[in-house]
Amino acid sequence: MSKIVPQKKIRILLGVCGGIAAYKSADLVRRLKERDFDVRVIMTESAAEFITPMTLQAVSGYSVHDALFDREAEAAMGHIELAKWADWILIAPATANTIAKLSVGICDDLLSTVVVASSAKCFIAPAMNQQMWASSVTQENISKLVSRDCHVLGPASGEQACGDVGFGRMLEPLEIAEQLVDYQQGQGSNSLPSNGLAGKRVLITAGPTVEAIDPVRFISNHSSGKMGYALAKAAQKQGAHVTLVSGPVNLTTPYAVDKVDVISAQDMLSAVKNRLVGCDIFIGCAAVADYTPVDVATQKIKKNDNDMQLTLKKNADIISWVAAQSKKPFVVGFAAESENLQQFAKSKLERKKLDMICANDISEPSLGFNSDNNRILILDKKGVQLQLPAASKEKIASDIIQQVSDRL
Ligand code: PMT
């Protein structure tokens, strides 16, 4: 008879730092325990200003550790035992101060000491004011931690407790717990998301544009936005700050992604122009209308007995504008082709001065526009070619983002 070997629970040491997001820590412990993780909590001194040790003790089921020099606590479970107990250390919220200390190995409280004393995989969910997060010193500290195999989760963008708006909000507890489950399921395989885009700014266009003819009629195409939204999700999972400029689609905005809705190609160009400063990677996945009506009728055009002629003018090429900037990001284009895939894509790569292009063969209706799958041929300006076999847009997106990350 075969013996059932119970699976060991992953032991997570949750480090809570002193930021307003600490009030979410109780929920985070609950979400982690629901997903069968064993959770113990360390609090920094300032975290206790935002949430009580009693609350975290009640939800975790363990006494909470908060002092480095506490004889009783050391006798029960000292900092070295805690460091050995943990399979993973999750610091959430991680303040700019703790991130800075960890980046240089300062050990002046229990949490920083345990991190240095432990060989556990470390995850960091930053939470701070948007300007503190954007500051070069925090970004340098984060890069150091990433280079030491720390995995950064978020932060998300949005309104902050101080009233500012921008990147710096801690990811929601549910999202952190889900990302850890994804990590656990990917362990040991190649599907593990890397953190290669941590702190990078990525601007992505997605979906169709809609060019008005009159108040009820328009010119557009069959782009559903699925490919662009999958790219946004994949880049966010690699730690990037993602802004998605989206034409009209029927999709949910991926978590922690900043979305800007646009309608026409002209709107899309303006939105891109307004958000390009500081951008490290630009991905033009939108199916932008090449032409737009010269005149948009203000009233519904009436039918008569004659044929009708519509005069169109050329839209500006958004991606070419991005690639022509003196401080240009790494620019990735798409080319949907129904014939001569490689030749047409290569000519777009050169003509638009792109760094990389993803060519989709749209001769098969089950691939490309408005479908769940895609097949991509990647070409870059150095002449490297890579065929990604037909797969879901999520899988293709994560492979494309990995290719971009490898080239940066
Ligand atoms: O949205 P889905 O249903 O998921 O479908 C995804 C997709 C098929 C739309 C996507 O994978 C794709 O291929 N998008 C590009 C479509 C296309 O053919 O683009 P293009 O050849 O017109 O343009 C080439 C590149 O220039 C693209 O990066 C495009 O975004 C950009 N472009 C084009 C015209 C313009 N005025 N401005 C631009 O920036």
> Is pLDDT at 94 greater than 70 in this prediction?
yes
The reply to whether ligand 1 has any atom less than 6 angstroms from the CB of 224 is yes
Q: What pLDDT is attached to residue 166?
A: 82
Ligand 1 atom showing the smallest separation from residue 315 Cα: 36
One-letter amino acid for residue 379 of the chain: L
Q: Cα-Cα-Cα-Cα dihedral of 27, 28, 31, 33, to 10°? A: -110
Catalytic residues: 162
* Distances, alpha carbon 182 to alpha carbons 7, 96, 189, in Å: 17, 26, 12
Contacts of 291 (CB under 8 A, 6+ apart): 211, 219, 312, 313, 314, 315
Same domain as 129, residue 55: yes
**Of 123-127, 130-134, 347-351, which range is least confident?**
130-134
The reply to whether ligand 1 has any atom less than 6 angstroms from the CB of 19 is no
Same domain as 262, residue 182: no
Q: What pLDDT is attached to residue 53?
A: 95
Alpha carbons 381 and 404: distance in angstroms, whole number: 13
> Is pLDDT at 143 greater than 50 in this prediction?
yes
Same domain as 241, residue 100: no
The reply to whether ligand 1 has any atom less than 6 angstroms from the CB of 318 is yes
Summarize pLDDT for 22-38 with one digit per residue, the tens.
Answer: 999 999 999 999 999 99
Residue 322 belongs to some domain of the structure = yes
The reply to whether ligand 1 has any atom less than 6 angstroms from the CB of 151 is no
Max mean pLDDT among 78-87, 127-136, 342-351, 361-370 falls in 342-351
Q: At what angle do helices 96-104 and 136-147 cross, to 10 degrees?
A: 50
Ligand 1 atom showing the smallest separation from residue 227 Cα: 4
Same domain as 354, residue 240: yes
**Of 60-74, 117-131, 202-216, 237-251, which range is least confident?**
60-74
| Other Cβ atoms closer than 10 A to 93 | 29
Summarize pLDDT for 365-389 with one digit per residue, the tens.
Answer: 888 899 999 999 999 999 999 999 9
Cα Dmax for the chain = 95
Ligand 1 atom showing the smallest separation from residue 316 Cα: 36
Q: What pLDDT is attached to residue 227?
A: 98
Q: What pLDDT is attached to residue 190?
A: 36
- Classify each residue of 73-82 as buried b or exposed e, where b means 16 or more C-beta atoms within 10 Å of its C-beta: bbeeebbeeb
Q: What pLDDT is attached to residue 72?
A: 66
The reply to whether ligand 1 has any atom less than 6 angstroms from the CB of 333 is yes
The reply to whether ligand 1 has any atom less than 6 angstroms from the CB of 265 is yes
Residue 120 CA, ligand 1 centroid: distance in Å: 43
The reply to whether ligand 1 has any atom less than 6 angstroms from the CB of 254 is no
Q: What pLDDT is attached to residue 221?
A: 96
Residue nearest to atom 18 of ligand 1 (CA): 336
**Where does the pLDDT of residue 192 fall: very low under 50, low under 70, confident under 90, or very high at 90 and above?**
very low
Phi/psi region, residue 258 (left: phi>0; alpha: psi -120 to 50; beta: rest), is beta
Q: What pLDDT is attached to residue 79?
A: 80
Ligand 1 atom showing the smallest separation from residue 224 Cα: 3
> Is pLDDT at 55 greater than 60 in this prediction?
yes
Residue 336 CA, ligand 1 centroid: distance in Å: 6
Summarize pLDDT for 10-20 with one digit per residue, the tens.
Answer: 999 999 999 99
Alpha carbons 173 and 134: distance in angstroms, whole number: 22
Report which secondary-structure segment, H or E, holds 34.
helix 25-34
The reply to whether ligand 1 has any atom less than 6 angstroms from the CB of 94 is no
User: What is the residue whose two structure tokens read 């401080």?
Assistant: 327
Same domain as 226, residue 173: no
Q: What pLDDT is attached to residue 191?
A: 38
Compare 309 and 187 and report the one with higher pLDDT. Answer: 309
Q: Give the CATH number for residue 336.
A: 3.40.50.10300
Instruction: Answer for the pair 279, 255: CB distance below 8 angstroms, yes or no.
Output: no
Ligand 1 atom showing the smallest separation from residue 368 Cα: 8
Q: 139 lies in which domain range?
A: 11-186
Q: What pLDDT is attached to residue 76?
A: 61
Q: If you average pLDDT over residues 391-398, what whole number do you get?
A: 95
CA 336 to chain centre: 25
Which of 186, 209, 229 is the C-terminal boundary of a domain? Answer: 186
Residue 305 belongs to some domain of the structure = no
SS3 call for 53: helix
Q: What pLDDT is attached to residue 74?
A: 65
Q: What pLDDT is attached to residue 3?
A: 54
Residue 346 CA, ligand 1 centroid: distance in Å: 14
**Mutational pocket test of ligand 1: of 223, 245, 249, 356, the residue with most ligand atoms within 8 Å of the beta carbon:** 223
Instruction: Answer for the pair 51, 14: CB distance below 8 angstroms, yes or no.
Output: no
Pairing of strands 211-212, 218-219: antiparallel
> Is pLDDT at 189 greater than 50 in this prediction?
no
Q: What pLDDT is attached to residue 83?
A: 92
The reply to whether ligand 1 has any atom less than 6 angstroms from the CB of 317 is yes
> Is pLDDT at 198 greater than 80 in this prediction?
yes
Q: What pLDDT is attached to residue 71?
A: 63
**Where does the pLDDT of residue 158 fall: very low under 50, low under 70, confident under 90, or very high at 90 and above?**
confident
Same domain as 176, residue 206: no
Write out the DSSP string of 65-99: B--SS-HHHHHHH-HHHHHHH-SEEEEEEEPHHHH
Task: Assign 3-class secondary structure to 115-170.
Answer: HHHCCCEEEEEECCCHHHHHCHHHHHHHHHHHHCCCEECCCEEEECCCCCEEEEEC
Same domain as 359, residue 228: yes
Ligand 1 atom showing the smallest separation from residue 230 Cα: 4
Which of 186, 221, 238 is the C-terminal boundary of a domain? Answer: 186
Residue 6 belongs to some domain of the structure = no
Q: Give the CATH number for residue 127.
A: 3.40.50.1950
Based on the structure, what is the number of domains in the chain? 2
**Mutational pocket test of ligand 1: of 209, 273, 315, 319, the residue with most ligand atoms within 8 Å of the beta carbon:** 319
Residue 288 belongs to some domain of the structure = yes
Same domain as 395, residue 264: yes
Residue nearest to atom 23 of ligand 1 (CA): 335
Instruction: Answer for the pair 140, 146: CB distance below 8 angstroms, yes or no.
Output: no
Residue 287 CA, ligand 1 centroid: distance in Å: 4
> Is pLDDT at 5 greater than 70 in this prediction?
no
Q: What pLDDT is attached to residue 340?
A: 93
